[in-house]
Each structure stands twice: as structure tokens, then as C-alpha cells.
Amino acid sequence: EAGVAQSPRYKIIEKRQSVAFWCNPISGHATLYWYQQILGQGPKLLIQFQNNGVVDDSQLPKDRFSAERLKGVDSTLKIQPAKLEDSAVYLCASSSTSMETQYFGPGTRLLVL
């Protein structure tokens, strides 16, 4: 069974630029999550989708971050414009339901200069 795929794996941008990350969850998984992990900390949930609807985006900085899951399968997370403090690893995870085990992708490491 293929795992959660993410791309790109690494990204370096200048502050105030835009960046987008892509995630393809495990086939059939209805629930998709985006986490932000700052160096030395545990992952923090940014947004949770159930199919193509948002369940929780309470910790998403909506002035600069946006995410979509239009067809209820893959998802993109965008930052526009990026700030230095956005440097982190962005992890995507999926689960068959919101109570089942979450499976994580390898993450995208973002460096904002």
C-alpha cells in the first residue's frame, strides 16, 4: 500500500514570496491533515479536512495560509506571502476516518530567507 506522498521535499524561498505544497493521501482516506513542525517542537495541526470540507482550521494563519482539497483526494497548502517564522517542516497526514490511525508523509522542509 502506497503511503502519503508529499512534494516538494525541500524548498528555499525569500521572505514575501509565495510557496505551495502538495499532498496525496493514502487511497480511500477521507480525512487529511496539514501540520507545521518548527525545529525542536512537535507537529502542530494547521487544518483538517473531511473529504473536501474543512473540519478544523482554528490554528491556520488565514491572513497568509490557505489550503484546499477540491476533489476530496489530494490537497495543496499555500503560503502567501511567506515570513521568516514560516521556516518549518510541513507534514501531511491522512486517516480513513477522523478517529483512525493517522499516517504521515515525509514532509516538506521550508526555509524562508
Partner 1 sequence: DAKTTQPNSMESNEEEPVHLPCNHSTISGTDYIHWYRQLPSQGPEYVIHGLTSNVNNRMASLAIAEDRKSSTLILHRATLRDAAVYYCILRAIAGGTSYGKLTFGQGTILTVHP
By CB under 8 A, residue 102 contacts partner 1: yes
User: What residues pair up with 64 in beta bridges, in sequence order?
Assistant: none
When the beta carbons of 45 and 81 are compared against partner 1, the nearer one is 45
Q: Are 22 and 73 in contact (CB under 8 A)?
A: no
3-state secondary structure of 7: strand
By CB under 8 A, residue 2 contacts partner 1: no
Write down the residue that cell numbers 506571502 correspond to. 81
CB of 81 to partner 1, least distance (A): 26
By CB under 8 A, residue 83 contacts partner 1: no
Question: Which region, judged by CB under 8 A, interacts with partner 1, from 11-19, 40-48, 66-74, 80-88?
Answer: 40-48
By CB under 8 A, residue 23 contacts partner 1: no
Q: CB atoms < 10 A from the CB of 79, how many?
A: 21
Pairing of strands 10-13, 108-112: parallel
Binding site for partner 1 (CB under 8 A): 4, 40-45, 48, 56, 58, 91, 93, 98-99, 101-107
